[in-house]
Chains A and B, each alone.
Chain A
Amino acid sequence: MNRLLHTLPVIDHPAAAARFLHDADRATWHDASLWQVRRKRDRAAAMVEEWEELRALASAIKEHTLSHLDTYLEAFERHATANGIQVHWAADAAEHNRIVLDLLRRHGARRVVKSKSMLTEECGLNPFLEAHGIEVVDTDLGERIVQLANDAPSHIVMPAIHYRQEEIGALFHAKMGTEAGADEPAYLAAAARRDLRRRFLEADAAITGVNFAVAETGGFVVCTNEGNADLGAHLAPLHIACMGLEKVIPRLDDLGVFLRLLARSATGQPITVYTSHFHRPPPGRALHVVLVDNGRSAQLARPAYRASLKCIRCGACMNTCPVYRRSGGHSYGAPVPGPIGSILMPGADPVRYASLPFASTLCGSCSDVCPVQIDIHDQLYAWRQDVTRAGGVSRAKRWFMQMAGWLLAHPRRYRVAGAALRRLLRHLPRRLLYARPNTWGRARELPPVPPQTFRDWYRTHRPAPEHPADMP
């Protein structure tokens, strides 16, 4: 684990979520917006008869790939190189950023258009390039909004999902001179279109992400709805595509499985508007791919968590998650938020991201919608134990958990404590009952005290067992 990371602040998800919930109207709207996307996903999935079979296939293909990952990475490199694509390897974020800057400098590129890549967010590429005098323009509209607002994406598919249209209207008025007070989405999108098309035509280099890299052919696929990755890549003399190691898949035929799942899971579309297959650069142009590890091989070494590397970044787990929808993407303090972020980030730093595995109800909805069948909620549960062992959980919580463990391990203690608690709950004044240590009671009423425990009921309705000690 990188010790340097500990200069970074520890993420306090509950505190950040509380701040998000402070604006109740926005939180309600955010929740409803995402739930609508989740429902679109349901409708799209229901239209495919073999949906569950596709999920199982996608999962199996990814597991097969991970079990031969070195072979497939080498095959991809070999075939890509034969296609005239130059392949680079980066062990971590810093090396990735250096490689990209180096390529830009070698080509004398100063103006870069960038389409969406969560990997470059993870590596902090934009601030790094800007610090070295390169102008980077995000061209996905959501990312552009976030960039103009000097903010970070809050969702991997819908980066500006946390903004309301009047805020975007005010932002565009300030930054792009649109009419004051105008906030119709069509009008604002048209303004961004004019501005970005000019930038596409003037760019010296394009940076894109990669959705799938095909080992068998040495080509890669980029999916967008706006066409921004293509406008960048086909107009600039230099195209750099950045990808995590886990993006490689064995064969072209495998694409059929993933592409039928990806857009349906993400937004409820049958397929993205553009599914672009890059195999060779046009004559006289340069095409580079940067393969990035940045903790992925370490995650591969963790049997309980390696399945997180199957992720195809569709965002379905975020849209369905009751915690994500009501706490906002920024509360996770991570480039990839939500359930999948909560199992990826502790791998990078179990102390800094210790609160993320607890940002879940463990309801399992994330695992149900995941197109590659990642056992997200099981991993969240496992990470809770591991971040606690790593010392990422407060002493109070650890002590409380130990107490609870001690209590729940002994039937007699449990019964005595239960009886005492029921009496307390009936007679304690509210002021004491809902005092500071009761975090559960801050936003909820405690459940009413039952007149009778199940155990008592059972004893009166069933013959006594032969060995009372066996009783629960």
Chain B
Amino acid sequence: MNSRTKILEAVARHRPPPRPHPGLPSFPAPGNDLAARFREAAAGVNATCLTGSLDTLGDVVRARYPGARVIAALEPDLLPGTQVIDATTAPAELATIDLLVCRGTLGVAESGAVWVRAAPAGHRAALFLAEHLLLLLPADRLVWNLHQAYDRLDVAAEDFGVFVAGPSKTADIAQALVIGAHGPRSVTVYLIPDTKISF
């Protein structure tokens, strides 16, 4: 008998009597200013939250990242003049990205997390190798908690997707917080109140 059969038989034999799934209540937002709550939560996870329009995005990037030489986007229409990343981009090249600009699909106000899909033609590793991350998020794409996030998202349709909550970090050395563990050293969420681009 192979291990699969052996394991499944043992589990079936030993499992406890059936218990029902409890179902999930909805936990509504405690207030309606989701953007304010999101900004607060983003600060709590060491991210910055800015509000602005797509027209001023170029100025914001120049002002915030004056030293950035390699600016890349996962999708070409986000920020004209940036390097576009696709599945064929060499990883060594991804590791030189100073700033990566990409779309967020949804923001979670309770935790400051943003759902980012792997662009179908993009390279999943870019999100983690870039020095800095700029996530664009339409302001109407905020939900209060993760329950609502999973309601709104079609996670299984994505080959890969990730909630990003701030820059990579560690406290493995003497419990001291260090921002910028192996991945991005900063995350900025750019909230766009009225958006003409489809996300």
Contacts and interface: CB of A to CB of B under 8 A. Distances in A.
A273 B165 CA distance: 4
Contacts of A190: 180
Given A277-B161, A279-B159, A228 B182 contact: yes
Q: Which of B12, B160, B166: most chain A Cβ within 10 A?
A: B160
B14 A300 contact: yes
Contact of B149 (A60, A254, A256): A256
A265 interface: no
A298 B13 CA distance: 10
Interface string B166-195: 111111111110101111100000000000
Nearest to A255: B150
A73 B8 contact: yes
A470 interface: no
Nearest to B20: A64
Given A201-B91, A283-B87, A230 B124 contact: yes
Q: What's the dominant secondary structure at chain A's contact region? A: helix
A228 B125 CA distance: 11
Nearest to B151: A253
Contacts of A322: none
Contacts of B108: 271
A406 interface: no
A270 B41 contact: yes
A64 B22 contact: yes
Contact of A164 (B19, B113, B124, B174): B174
Given A226-B181, A270-B45, A277-B161, A301 B14 contact: yes
Given A189-B173, A273-B169, A297 B161 contact: no
Nearest to B5: A89
Contact of A217 (B25, B145, B155): B155
Interface string A223-260: 00111101100110000000001000010111111011
Interface stretch (A7-15, A192-200, A358-366): A192-200
A277 B18 contact: no
Contacts of B128: 227, 230-231, 234, 274
Q: What's the dominant secondary structure at chain B's contact region? A: loop
Contacts of A280: 159-160
A255 B156 CA distance: 13
Q: Which of A49, A253, A303: most chain B Cβ within 10 A?
A: A253
Interface in B83-129: 87, 91-92, 95, 108, 110-113, 118, 123-125, 127-129
A140 B127 CA distance: 18
Contacts of B167: 273
A165 to B, nearest CB: 4
Given A89-B7, A201-B92, A270-B112, A231 B24 contact: no
A160 interface: yes
16 contacts: A60-B20, A73-B8, A89-B4, A90-B3, A158-B172, A190-B180, A231-B128, A231-B182, A252-B155, A256-B24, A257-B24, A270-B110, A270-B112, A274-B165, A277-B160, A293-B10
A-B interface, 6 closest residue pairs, ranked by CB to CB distance from nearest: A227-B183, A142-B172, A301-B14, A226-B181, A270-B111, A297-B10
Interface of A: 33, 36-37, 49-50, 53, 56-57, 60-61, 63-64, 66-70, 73-74, 89-91, 95, 139-142, 145, 158-161, 163-165, 168, 185-186, 188-190, 192-193, 196-197, 200-201, 216-217, 219, 225-228, 230-231, 234-235, 245, 250, 252-257, 259-260, 267, 269-283, 291, 293, 297-298, 300-301, 303, 306
Interface of B: 2-4, 6-8, 10-22, 24-25, 27, 30, 41, 44-45, 87, 91-92, 95, 108, 110-113, 118, 123-125, 127-129, 145-147, 149-151, 155-156, 158-176, 178, 180-184
